[in-house]
Amino acid sequence: MLRLTDLEVVQMAIPSPTPRSAPYTYATWLSKAMAGEHGCLYAGWFKSHFSVQGKRDINLDAWTAEHTAMVHDCAAEFRAEGYEVYLEGQNTLRVRGQGGAVLGGKPDLVAVMDETAVVVECKTGNPRTSDSLQVRLYMYLLSEWSTHPARECRRILGEVRYKPDRGEPLRLPHAAADLMRRYMQVFLSPVPPLATPSFQECRFCELAGGVCMESIEEEPEAVVVGWF
């Protein structure tokens, strides 16, 4: 089965960071920080303040096709139950704070029926803690986003949809607003957090290879000991 693995997501970045006119943070960056999957908060802070151009060294077409098929299968399922379904581009959600910073996201699917909206994110890979947090952030954004058709819904649910062999869909009762605020404050601060470089994280980071001077790009050698 084809899926995007961590090793395939090695970036061949062409770093040309340009300052953003106002900070812009994506829900996916927040969810990975909240889950501890991106321990180096400097990366999220930097990308919130600077636009970084990069490219991947693999062809994502096959992964995209698998993900798209999953989203369309999910859409058909909800439609069969009587829901009105909105897909990706229709779900571009953005909220702007009083200081001008923007938090944005784009859930794969939002299904609406009567007073209920269900936010769904489809994942082709292994389940991660950040998956459910990402959906919670989308739920929060949806509750604040006044132009989405789901704005009239009094009940917003969330779901992470994995492939059938990767576990049951997860229903989420509420948004993780407090955690979200905490990490937004880190990413939007004018003072960057300290970088915490590690080979395990830097090798997948868009800022490695020129933008971030702290990057560790070679795995440290194991130290030889004499007790075993």
DSSP string, 141-187: HHHH-TTSGGGG-SEEEEEEEE-GGG---EEE-S--HHHHHHHHHHH
CB closer to ligand SF4 out of 160 and 211: 211
CA-to-CA distance for 4 and 79, rounded, in angstroms? 28
Name the residues that contact ligand SF4, by CB under 6 A: 40, 42-43, 195, 197, 201-202, 205, 207-208, 212, 214-215
CB of 202 to ligand SF4, least distance (A): 3
Please, are residues 43 and 212 in contact by the beta-carbon 8 Å criterion?
yes
User: Which run of H or of E encompasses 222?
Assistant: none
CB of 94 to ligand SF4, least distance (A): 25
How many Cβ atoms sit within 10 Å of the Cβ of residue 15? Answer: 16
- The angle subtended at Cα 108 by Cα 59 and Cα 26, nearest 5°, is 80
CB closer to ligand SF4 out of 39 and 167: 39
CB of 150 to ligand SF4, least distance (A): 35
CB closer to ligand SF4 out of 45 and 162: 45
CB of 12 to ligand SF4, least distance (A): 14
Please, are residues 45 and 189 in contact by the beta-carbon 8 Å criterion?
yes
> CA–CA distance from 48 to each of 102, 103, 184, 228 (Å)?
9, 9, 10, 47
CB of 18 to ligand SF4, least distance (A): 17
The residue with tokens 């509420």 is 174
How many Cβ atoms sit within 10 Å of the Cβ of residue 138? Answer: 28
CB closer to ligand SF4 out of 101 and 208: 208
CB of 7 to ligand SF4, least distance (A): 16
CB of 151 to ligand SF4, least distance (A): 37
CB closer to ligand SF4 out of 44 and 107: 44
Strand partners, 95: 103
CB closer to ligand SF4 out of 1 and 213: 213
CB closer to ligand SF4 out of 104 and 193: 193
Tell me how many helices (H) and strands (E) the chain has.
6, 10
